[in-house]
Structure 1
């Protein structure tokens, strides 16, 4: 059970995995094989070391990465994490998306995977001052490479091999009376009856890497889960931000598409990757769980204990002229991929779902309500059926 949930098969000193990344496939790499592991708490309850190596049969490239986590406090999280990787990534994926190189993301792909090779090194320190108040500080250096699926072209048509980025960032998270499940190196939020607030600020460091950009990025979000008896509860998240400065499209806010048939609560089910980008934006994600108020009244069906859900998501954003690579005569550094535009006309999708199917599965039907017409360079999907796993009691 621990292996299924956590993803690692633990021997005494080494955890091997995650098992769902041992084999996968995608257009860029072909068939991908990966082997990884990390130390267990029998080695140390203060330091955890992990790493992996992977190989793709189509690109014939060896990838890999590693991490070191140092936990300074077990009761309040005070942890330093160092990571480095040379691997492919899906830019613009949602917070809860199936990770790249996941066998489920391969099987459930709807054909919209546009991965990019990324060299990235990052250091992050989290300091939890008291229960419910945490701050973060970190630095990141990365280089993102072009490929045939995600080209990089200047406005004059000259191809670019890569884009560099170096940035420092700080963050704040506030939560009152939040229930948290703590482990030696990880923790899992179980929610709070009060809103949870997050704030973040990043600053790009010009020429820290060759060609890196100067910019400032301010982001914030709030999540609230109000109980609304007798009609269940809502889960509401509102996020927004602004990027100050001129940056290539990889460093803009790439709005969260979903390239699989797996449901991601913080991505748009009918939106493609690289469909919309912004340098100022606000988005919302709303779900209402009725807890069987409707289905629980129907004969026979009520014995199944299915529960109904309503979903509505949307985003509105703008692009300054210097960052809009979709227009003719653009002042942007790079042209946008085919079909990518701003979302100055709000994007909205909505639908319904049924959860608690065999106490494990959830199925959602989502309709795209705006931007439904044909779009050059994009295969528009106006309706999606998503599957997810969700333990309900």
Structure 2
């Protein structure tokens, strides 16, 4: 399973106690629903402003004039306000659920910018629509209203990020388990997103100078000060958590065609293609010191799509710039766990009468249930000041790293922060720093964290040593039978320089012990699981492996992968002696240098037979030296307890590996050269979703038996593997040269969102295509020669089991549904060719657990 949602759960470790009994949310005292119409034409009115009494607690009617509003307070009136209509007050019954049919009367006043059409409802159209004409003017003038319109831009930036448990009921707050934690709870304005009671658990702040040059393009960020809540690093990776939140809450530029929020790309309301996907309405004209401002409301044409809804305010001074924006998402959007989202952007006039972003605020409330129960609220606000344009910036500013953190930036005093913040911060939010420090000293909290870490990561912490992972304790296969395993690894509590990992396993059918032992020395005095890595590791492993099985993020003896389809009796007993050096750089370039001595023994239905002598080979020995290069621009990742998980972004990842086999060196039997290269990239296609694409190729030089060739990644489990061929059998194809492409496209519900009733399930369409083309040179093909090669494996009935790809590329594709119950992806997979090979399936159903927003 991917760790997308797991990251948030880690940030809420002390919240784990809620599994003992999650309370429901506050019961709403007063709930009013209804429809707003024109009193004469009975036409429904969209975007009518609706408030309780004279408060700012309110909502808007939707595109069809419908609304719903609720409160816990004793308000007895609703105020309805709409441009061109008289203000209407309606008396409501406190503490009851009721439905209103609201009729607004025209006040016979009109604005030049607004055309009111009475009579029969007119179908929405872009043609002859003044709102669409206005948004086209905004789009046409986008370039001159962005920072890139200048030669240089520099400004100061202050960022605050706050995360809290939300919608906490008084009943839940009063539970005995929270008796010692009352100092954590805070109250907020009940009209704000997330509810009245909050339990803040994380805050971070950053103050930086930003420098931008657009001729040529250069940028530099100088971090002057930063601070964040620090959790116990034995359980939570503070830097990884920060990187993940930064990915979810990125800077918002409304002038970009696509805006990244919650790891999804949303089409901007002023994107070039916005009139195709949005409906626009001129809803007000506002007079200000800057002149007339047009209020433009917008909503998705299809409510489930990754689109915003809200209002933008456009200047009418000839710049057609955005002066302010307030928007969120439709309640029917195909977005998981998001109860509500609000984005507010404020712009200020520059000295040249153009506007720059002065403040942005993004707040989102998450929860398992859309409306009830405890949730999680995240808020990111950014303030900008000292905005300067076309001021010459010395080249020395851009020298060195693009991101520079000044010495002492993480140790600024409270006085420094109070004098330099660009925005005010409530005293109760500042208490979060000390509150979390106090919380982590409580024994009950530490016990809770330990239990949650064990449940989520599968390791039980004993201080200097932790036991796990639990999902490998038991598994089975046809050769080993029932298999038990126990192991663990040391932690930084033992040493920040030395790390050890080990396990022992026993198969009750083959009656053999397997074990692993490794020792690692950190060369930069950091945990070997932290970026940037710089360590040397020596290890020995005696264990089994299925040829051609490559798993993503899970151990091969994971219990759930014990269930396999078809004939699955081929296994290798392996002895690995390894020595590896890993070095990562801040620019995300890394290299590895390795030595491996490998002895492999076939088992079960796998037999190595010398093609020349027709004798069985019981042991194959090789010795390898390897160099691997990797570059992943701007890569960020979250460090879990078992592995480090990259946070997928739009930047490509390049891999290049060279391996040399050396005959006679530590018993190696063959000389060979193996070169492999790959590129992975995610392509965001706006409303059409995104594609994950992998292109890969390899070439092996040398005269070799098939076990040393490229054994293509197969999958005989019922789990859908992204980078394996899901209807290919283990060891079905081998090559000494190959090229492959893998395309996995997620439409994010683009089509299903438009089908009535079905759209309520919020399913997401997925299609994939995989192809690999390769072959064997005559010197490595046992059908062409018997000198120095092994016979290809066969089944018990004598049918051939392993083939080359010399005829045509192997191809398979799938169509699937994702987001089933928000966690499951199911694919119908079709194999397109090589259907005459024995024991193959043309069709198959595969499933994958995938938790996403």
Per the alignment, residue 391 of structure 1 pairs with: 851
- In 2, the alpha carbon distance for the partners of 1:366 and 1:389 equals 16
Alignment pair present for 1:112 and 2:563: no
1-side partners of 2:668 and 2:534: how far apart?
A: 34
Contact 2:490 2:499 in 1 (8 A): yes
Contact 1:81-1:124 within 8 A present in 2 as well: yes
Aligned length: 389
1:36-63 C-alpha deviation (Å, 9 max, x unpaired):
1111232223332111111111111111
Partners of 1:200 and 1:175 in 2: CA distance: 15
Query: Aligned partners of 1:295 and 1:342: how far apart in 2?
Result: 40
2:678 is aligned with 1:215: no
The answer to whether the aligner puts 1:353 opposite 2:829 as a matched pair is: no
Deviation at 1:186, TM superposition (A): 5.2
Per-residue CA distance 1:264-283 (angstroms, 9 max, x = gap): 11100100011100000011
Gaps of 5+ in 2: 1-451, 795-800
Deviates more, 1:346-355 or 1:3-12: 3-12
2:546 counterpart of 1:83: no
1:21 maps onto 2:472 in alignment: yes
> Which residue matches 1:166?
623
2:603 alignment partner, SS class = coil
CA contact (8 A) 2:567 2:839 kept: no
Return the offset for 1:304.
2.4
Give 3-state SS (helix, strand or coil) of 1:225's partner.
strand
**CA contact under 8 A between 2:538 and 2:578: conserved in structure 1?**
yes
Cross-structure match for 1:64: 515
Which structure has the higher relative contact order (CA within 8 Å, separation 6+)? Answer: 1
Contact 2:691–2:745 (CA under 8 A) maintained in structure 1: yes
Aligned to 1:54: 505
Structure 2 CA distance for aligned equivalents of residues 21 and 113 of structure 1: 20
Q: Is 2:728 the partner of 1:268?
A: no
Maintained 8 Å contact 2:779/2:785: no
2:340 is matched with: none
* TM-superposed deviation, 1:100: 2.6
Q: 1:311 to 1:367 in 2, by over 3 A?
A: same
Give yes or no for the alignment of 1:343 onto 2:810. Answer: no
Distance 1:97 1:40 in 2: 20
TM-score scaled by length of structure 1: 0.94
What is residue 495 of structure 2 aligned with on the other side?
44
- Equivalence for 1:31: 482
Q: Which residue of 1 aligns with 2:653?
A: 196
Deviation at 1:212, TM superposition (A): 2.1
Q: 1:278 aligns with which of 735, 741, 751?
A: 735
Question: What is the CA distance between 1:329 and its match in structure 2?
Answer: 4.5
- Secondary structure at 1:363's aligned position in 2? strand
**SS at the partner of 2:511?**
coil
What is the CA deviation profile of residues 2-51 of structure 1, one whole-angstrom value per residue up to 9, with x for unaligned ones? 33443322232322121111111111111111111111232223332111
Query: How far has the Cα of 1:230 moved from its partner?
Result: 1.1
Q: Secondary structure at the match of 1:20?
A: helix
Which secondary structure does the structure 2 equivalent of 1:170 belong to? strand
Question: For the Cα contact (< 8 Å) 2:579–2:596, is it kept in 1?
Answer: yes
**Aligned residue number for residue 240 of structure 1:** 697
**SS of the residue aligned with 2:454?**
helix
Question: Considering only aligned residues, what root-mean-square deviation do their CA atoms show, in Å?
Answer: 1.9
Query: Relative to structure 2, which stretch is displaced further, 165-174 or 113-122?
Result: 113-122
Larger mean CA deviation between 73-82 and 54-63 belongs to 73-82
Q: Hey, which of these two has a bigger chunk of helix by percent?
A: 2
SS at match of 1:115: strand
Which 4+ residue blocks in structure 1 deviate beyond 4 angstroms? 108-111, 182-186
Unaligned segments of structure 1, at least 5 residues:
none
Moved more, 328-337 or 351-360: 328-337
In 2, Cα distance between equivalents of 1:364 and 1:254 = 24
Higher alpha-carbon Rg: 2
The alpha-carbon deviation at position 358 of structure 1 amounts to: 2.0
Structure 2 CA distance for aligned equivalents of residues 123 and 182 of structure 1: 23
User: Is the Cα contact below 8 Å between 1:176 and 1:192 reproduced in 2?
Assistant: no
